[in-house]
Structure 1
Amino acid sequence: MRSPIFNSVYSVVNEFCQTKLKIPPEQVSQRLEAIWLPIAMQIAEKRQKCQHPWIQGILGGQGTGKTTLCHILKLILESLDYHTETLSLDDLYKTYQDRLALQYQDPRLIWRGPPGTHDIDLGLSAIAQIRQGASSVEIPRFDKSAHQGAGDRTVPQVREKVDILLFEGWFVGVRPIDETAFAHPPSPIITEGDRQFARDMNRKLYDYLPLWQQLDSLIVLYPTDYRLSLEWRKQAEQEMIATGKSGMTDSQIDDFVNYFWRALHPELFIKSLIARTELVDLVVKIQPDRSLTIDS
C-alpha cells in the first residue's frame, strides 16, 4: 500500500519523466518510492523543524543526474507547498569578459568550470536574500549558448519568497585536501604540470568555503566507479548526435573529462569528502546500470 503522498505526487513526477527523460513508468514508481520521495521528505522535515529557509547542497559529477534530481525534488516539494528554487554552480560563473581576462592570466583555464571561474560573492548575495526571507529574490542565471558557446551571465530570475533552495554542482561542498595527496596522484594527473594544476585548484577551493558554509545539508551523488561518468557522457553525446544535433567526438570527450579530473580528481576529493559524516548527510550510490541506493 503506497502512501497518500506518493499517490499525490506520482502523476506530476511521472509526466516529467515521460516527457523529458523517457523513463519507463515502472522505473519511475520504483525510484519515486525508494529514492526521490524519501529524499524530498527528509528535506521537507528539516525545513519544517528549522523554521527558516533551507539551503540543500547537491554534489554530483558529470552524468550523475544532479540536475534531474533537482527538477524532481522541486516538483515534489512544491506539491507539498514549499516554495522551492534551484541554483546551479554554473549560474555563478564569472562574466564572459572576466573569464577572458582570467584565461589571459592563466592559460590553463581553457574551460569554464574549475575553481576560480565562479563569482562567489554573487552566490553569497543570492543566498543571503533567501536567508533573510526576502519577498522577492534574484536568482542568478547563466546562458551557456552566448558567445558561440563560451557562455555569459544573463538576466537573473526574480522569484517570490523561497522556502527551500536546491544548490547543485560538480564540486558543491568539496573541501581542500592535504597536498601530500598529489605526490602520487591517480591518472590523468601524470606530469609535474598536471600536479601543479591540481595543487592550484585545491588551493582555490579555500575561496569557496564561505559559500559551502551556507549549506544546511549536503547530498552526494556517488558513482561506485568514478570512470562511469566518462562512459555516461559519451552515451549522452552519441544519443544527441543520433537526433541530428551537434556533439563532441569520443576523443574530445576524453580531453574534456580528463581536464576536470586533473582539476579535482574524484578519487582524491569526493572519496575523502563522503568519509566526513559531519559534512555529508546523505550519499546516493550510482551503480554501472544507473540504479540508485541510499547510504545515510
Structure 2
Amino acid sequence: MLGRRAVLSGDVVRDEDVLDEIDRWSRSEPSLDAPPFLLSAEAYAALRALHGDDDRFTAGSTCHRAAVERHLAPVLRDIAEGRPASADELRMLAETTRVDPVQAAFGADPSPDVVLERLRLLASVWTPFSRWWRDYFADTSDAPVVDLWQLYLPFARWIVREKRSRRPDGLFVMGFNGSPGAGKTVLTTALTVVVDQLLDVATEGRAIARSGDDWYLGRADREPLRALGYDPGVPGVTNRSLPGTHDLDWLLRNLAELERSTPGSVVRMGNFDKRIDDQPTGDDRFFEVRGKVGVLLFDLWFAGARTDVDPMVVPDGLGRRVAEHLRRWRPVFERLDGLWAFDWPSFERMTREREAQERLVEQRRGTRGMSREGVRAFMSYMVERSWDWRTTSPVPPEQAVTFRAWRDTNHRVIAVQRGGRAT
C-alpha cells in the first residue's frame, strides 16, 4: 500500500482506495458510471502519487488505461464511426469533461450543446486521424480514440482559437519541450492531422510539424566540434543534439519564409537523416513545404530554455560552449506563441525511453540504431555533461511555459496544468 493521502477539492482521499477503485473498474462490465471517475482529478492524482516507483507506476497506469479502454473507448469509437450519442452517453461525456483536468486545461466547455458539437468534430477527424495512426505505427491496429477526444481535439481547438485571435493572418508557432523519447514528435505530428481539419486551409493556411533535429549540421561540419568537447567519447556515437550542433541560420531563414508564405510558396526546410547521421543529398536534400502555412508545431528538446545566462559563470568546457550557443536561440524562443513542456523524468528513465525510441526507429525503418551502451554514452553527453543545471538547463522556466504535462511510462498524458506564461 502507498501509505499516502491526497487532499483534493477540500476532501481527504486515500490514494490506495482510489487505485483499488480503478482496479475494480478495470475488471467490471462496461458502464457509463465509470468514465467520470476514471478521468477525474482524484484518479489522476492517485496515479501521479506513484511517480518515482516505476514498477507500481507502470502497473497502476496500465490498469487505469485498461479501465478507460473498457468503459469509454467503445462509446467514443461508435460515435466517431457515425452512431448518434444517446442522451445518457451525452450526459456522461459532459460530466467527464467537467471533472477531467486534462480537458479543463484547454478550456473545454462541459455544457451538453458544446460537447455535442465536439462529438461532430470527433466524427469528422476520426477517419484521417486513424488513417495517419495506422500509417505511423504499422503494428498498431486501433487508433487511440480516447486520446483523440481527451487531448488532441481540445488541444487542437485551443491552438486554432489562439491562432485566430493572435495571428489571424500570420504564422502561429507552438513549441514543445521534453526529454529525449518523451513523445514530442508523435504529439506534434498527431496534432497537425487534427488542426488541419479545423483550419480553413485556403485562407488560414495549413499546419505542419517539424523538429529542431531537422536542422542539425552535417557530419563534416560537426566533426571539428569534437575538439571543443562535443564528443560522447564512444566511437561511432553521434555528437549531434546540443546547442551548437544546429544550422541556426537555416532555421531562422525558414521561419521568416514561413511567416511570408502564400498559396504559391515553396519553402525548403532542413531534413536531417538520423540513419546516416547527416543532411541528405539528392531528392531528400530538403523537406519542401508548398502553400501557405498558418500553424507550425515545433519540437525541440530544450525549447524555451533560458538564453540569458552569462557563459563566463559556467565552468570552462562543454557546459560553457553550450551556454554560448544557447544565447543564439533567443530569437527562435522569443518567436514561440506558446510552449508545451513535458515533465522531465529521472536520467535512468530518460535512458530507457531513448532506448525504446531506437527500437521504434528500427521497427519503422528496418535499420538498427544505437546500441544500449551507445545510448547510455549519448545520454550522458547530452544531459549530464552538457548542462551546468544550476545556471543552464534544458528545462524551461515556469514563466515560459503555457502547458506543463505529466505522462505515464507508456507515454500517455495523465495531467496537464497551465504554466506561468501569459496568454
1:44 equivalent in alignment to 2:133:
no
Q: How far is 1:123 from its partner?
A: 1.3
2:269 aligns with one of 100, 123, 140: 140
Please name the residue that 2:336 is paired with.
Answer: 215
Q: So what's the TM-score if we normalise by structure 1? A: 0.81
Please name the residue that 2:393 is paired with.
Answer: 269
How far apart are the structure 2 equivalents of 1:219 and 1:240? 24
- CA distance 1:160–1:266, shift in 2 (3 Å): farther
Task: Report the number of matched residues.
Answer: 278
Whose relative contact order is higher, 1 or 2, with alpha carbons under 8 Å and at least 6 apart? 1
Deviations 1:74-96 (A, max 9, x none): 10111123411222211222244
Amino acid at match of 2:247: D
Please name the residue that 1:116 is paired with.
Answer: 244
Q: How far is 1:24 from its partner?
A: 6.2
Deviations 1:163-206 (A, max 9, x none): 111111112222247579x98xxxxxxxx8xx732233123210
- CA distance 1:215–1:241, shift in 2 (3 Å): closer
Larger Rg, first or second structure (1 or 2): 2
How far apart are the structure 2 equivalents of 1:100 and 1:270? 23
SS in structure 1 at match of 2:174: strand
1:31 equivalent in alignment to 2:147:
yes
SS in structure 2 at match of 1:55: strand
The 10-residue stretch of structure 1 (90-99 or 164-173) with the greater mean CA deviation from structure 2 = 90-99
Alignment of 1:134-173 (within 5 A): 134=262, 135-144=264-273, 149-152=276-279, 154-173=285-304
Whether contact under 8 Å (1:114, 1:260) holds in the other structure is yes
- CA distance 1:226–1:294, shift in 2 (3 Å): farther
Q: So what's the TM-score if we normalise by structure 2? A: 0.59
Amino acid at match of 1:250: R
How far apart are the structure 2 equivalents of 1:92 and 1:198? 21
1:283 aligns with one of 400, 404, 409: 404
Q: Identity over aligned residues, as a percent?
A: 22
Q: How far is 1:142 from its partner?
A: 2.4
Q: How far is 1:112 from its partner?
A: 1.4
1:74 equivalent in alignment to 2:192:
yes
1:131 aligns with one of 239, 251, 259: 259
SS in structure 2 at match of 1:269: coil
Whether contact under 8 Å (1:94, 1:117) holds in the other structure is yes
How far apart are the structure 2 equivalents of 1:266 and 1:33? 37
Q: How far is 1:239 from its partner?
A: 6.0
Q: How far is 1:270 from its partner?
A: 4.5
How far apart are the structure 2 equivalents of 1:242 and 1:57? 27
1:249 equivalent in alignment to 2:368:
no
1:98 equivalent in alignment to 2:227:
no
How far apart are the structure 2 equivalents of 1:89 and 1:145? 13
Please name the residue that 2:382 is paired with.
Answer: 260
Whether contact under 8 Å (1:55, 1:216) holds in the other structure is yes
SS in structure 2 at match of 1:157: strand
How far apart are the structure 2 equivalents of 1:266 and 1:35? 31
Q: Which runs of 5+ in 1 are unaligned?
A: 184-191
| Structure with the bigger percentage of strand | 1
Amino acid at match of 1:70: T
Amino acid at match of 2:332: L
Whether contact under 8 Å (1:142, 1:151) holds in the other structure is no
